Amino acid sequence: MKRILTTVLFFFVITGFSQQIPQKYFVAFTDKNGSPYSIDNPQAFLTQRAIDRRIAQGIPIIEQDLPVNPPYVTAVAATGVQVFTQCKWFNGVTVRVTDTAVLPSISALPFVQSVTRVTSYNSKKSSEGDRKFRLEEGLGKTGNPINKSPASGLSYDYGPSYNQIHLLNGDVLHNLGFRGQGKVIAVLDAGFNGADTNHVFDSLRANNQILGTRDFVEPGGNVYIAHPHGAMVLSTMGGNTPGQLIGTAPKASYWLIRTEDAATENIVEEYNWVVGAEMADSVGADVINSSLGYTQFDNGWMNHTCADMNGSTNPSSIGANIAASKGIAISISAGNEGGTSWQCVSSPSDALDVLSIAAVDASGNYAGFSSTGIVNGSYVKPNIASQGQDAYLCFPDGSFGTGSGTSFSSPINAGMMACLCQAEPTIDQYHLRLAIEQSASQYTHPDSLLGYGIPDYAKAVQILQVGVLKKTNIQAYPNPFINDFAVSLDNQLTGNIEISLISVTGDIVKQTSRTVVAGGGNTINMNNLSALAPGLYILKISAGNVTEYLHMVRIEK
């Protein structure tokens, strides 16, 4: 009977049955022409909190921020497909297709630029997908947490969670009253099973610190009955059970966003990630934590390579850079592939403008499973490290124990980023990130295991407060650029100014210098750049003891 069933199934596959298996495609549009939305009325698509974050950091609202054009979405849906998600940053929609015969009709629409398959016909449950979580959870409850908490002098009774906070000097910020109050963290993960009932989140629920949830894997779904990974991640930030577990940002507020389908691994999850980051932006999140990473998939044609981990190639990395450009501070797990054949960091932690978080043990030593990266000029991955081996957390059943993985080193760090945002609310995300790196244990000699090392958040506060990183008024425009851009210098900069445009591989592709005087009106043009490959570049501006870095994007006309 088994042989007969196998034969019948094979017959349906070779006769076109596979074309009826639901698949997802990303439909990219050519423009946003005729949109009912306008950058002059951002309240129609951004919360006031998101608008305020842009104003505080001097970030303009641009066409990229506009939602996808509704008539385009309606026309695509009219072909018979189901529209799953809308991605304004990539200007397109993810659709669910049950009959591939409709694809030519979609491609023929005059405003459609491309149609790309983003799931696999033969995607297998529990293959690549859940493996990345099993790498972590296999060590759950088996570790031996170190309880170094002193008897008095701290604002919290941290219990066994003390070490992972103290390693970052996070307890110093807590003692100063910076515990994440007034800050919003968006958590992008695979689900938050039990977070609506688990006692470790009692204070979050009692104080309305869980602002909302969203499921982009199954739109309209309940994230509280999905995978438990996100709830464990959340416990290291928002947990508050004195004597057992205190998270790094117990007073912050949280959005719980599901973007990952843990049972499979398809590149559509990277598009989900971007949509999740868009939502985090639109609701005004200050920090994103993502304990997710993408390397290889259930079907080989989707696979990334380590060469792709260059900060600007993969969908989720591109989306992460855009999210950072909106003023969000971003912490992402480096990955747990250090002991595998893959080894290198995963996307989107390779993105230029995020902090990629490696894992160390309780003593600050490199954890062997933590993915390795690269040090190439100003491009350093991973960026920093925190405790990810035998991290103390709460499990969905309410019990406490240890788990190992960069999935936990990242949120431990993300919570501290929120506390630092609270301590220095006028600092933009770029200088916040730079201060964290400068505070780290091996800032002067980064390596491919821990990047700049273990940050000291008490030192980061000092760096920001003494004005070392107070933002100058250097701007470059247009950005993105095609052939030329101009650099407008701070009025107070004087002397010899050197400007270098650097590729992500560390090569200087354009350099110029000029002597300027105080008083303003100093603009330096960077011309004849059309021969450069499209993509991300680093603009370095040096004047005496002041150095600024900006990220520039070259596009084709």
* pLDDT the model gives residue 14: 33
Q: How many other β-carbons are positioned within 10 Å of the β-carbon of residue 203?
A: 15
Q: Pairing mode, if any, of strands 23-29 and 92-97?
A: antiparallel
Q: What is the dihedral of CA 368, 391, 385, 154, to 10 degrees?
A: -150
Indicate the DSSP class of residue 410: H
Q: Which two tokens stand for residue 355?
A: 């902090």
* pLDDT the model gives residue 412: 98
Contacts of 222 (CB under 8 A, 6+ apart): 213, 215
Q: Which two tokens stand for residue 465?
A: 């407060």
31-35, 123-127, 203-207, 213-217: lowest mean pLDDT where? 123-127
Q: C-alpha angle with apex 85: 79 to 89, nearest 5 degrees?
A: 110
Over residues 141-160, the mean pLDDT reads: 66
153-167, 306-320, 478-492: lowest mean pLDDT where? 478-492
Comparing C-alpha atoms, which of 241, 188, 253, 181 is closest to residue 216? 188
pLDDT at 184 over 50: yes
Comparing C-alpha atoms, which of 543, 173, 434 is closest to residue 443? 434
At 204, phi and psi to the nearest 5? -60, -45
Q: How many other β-carbons are positioned within 10 Å of the β-carbon of residue 256?
A: 27
CA 339 – CA 370 distance, rounded (Å) = 8
* pLDDT the model gives residue 445: 93
pLDDT tier at 502, thresholds 50, 70, 90:
confident
More confident residue, 459 or 111: 111
CA 210 – CA 196 distance, rounded (Å) = 9
Residue with tokens 């464990």: 232
pLDDT tier at 140, thresholds 50, 70, 90:
low
CA 488 – CA 498 distance, rounded (Å) = 13
pLDDT at 367 over 90: yes
Over residues 103-131, the mean pLDDT reads: 79
pLDDT tier at 155, thresholds 50, 70, 90:
confident
242-258 pLDDT tens trace: 999 999 999 999 999 99
**Where is 500: in which H helix or E strand?**
strand 495-503
CA atoms within 13 A on the CB side of 372: 13
Q: Which two tokens stand for residue 218?
A: 């199954």
Chain centre distance of CA 496? 37
* pLDDT the model gives residue 555: 80
Indicate the DSSP class of residue 510: E
Contacts of 467 (CB under 8 A, 6+ apart): none
Comparing C-alpha atoms, which of 27, 189, 190 is closest to residue 118? 27
pLDDT at 142 over 50: no
CA 321 – CA 536 distance, rounded (Å) = 10
Q: How many other β-carbons are positioned within 10 Å of the β-carbon of residue 525?
A: 11
Query: How is 88-106 classified by DSSP, letter by letter?
Result: TTTTEEEEEES-GGGHHHH
pLDDT at 5 over 50: no
pLDDT at 150 over 80: no
* pLDDT the model gives residue 10: 29
Over residues 389-412, the mean pLDDT reads: 96
- For residues 523 and 541, the answer to whether their CB atoms sit within 8 Å is no
Query: How is 454-468 classified by DSSP, letter by letter?
Result: S--HHHHHHHHHTTT
CA atoms within 13 A on the CB side of 218: 12
Residue with tokens 């059943």: 397
* pLDDT the model gives residue 148: 55
Q: What is the 3-state secondary structure (H, E, C) of 131-146?
A: HHHHHHHCCCCCCCCC
* pLDDT the model gives residue 20: 60
Sign of CA dihedral 416, 417, 420, 425: negative
CA 403 – CA 388 distance, rounded (Å) = 8
* pLDDT the model gives residue 473: 67
3-state secondary structure of 55: helix
In order of their start, the domains of the chain are 19-117 (3.30.70), 128-465 (3.40.50.200), 475-554 (2.60.40.3080)
Average pLDDT value over all residues in the chain:
87
Residue type, 552: M
CA 302 – CA 315 distance, rounded (Å) = 12
Q: C-alpha angle with apex 277: 135 to 211, nearest 5 degrees?
A: 95
CA 278 – CA 350 distance, rounded (Å) = 19
- For residues 229 and 190, the answer to whether their CB atoms sit within 8 Å is yes
41-72 pLDDT tens trace: 999 999 999 999 999 888 999 999 999 999 99
* pLDDT the model gives residue 541: 82
* pLDDT the model gives residue 132: 56
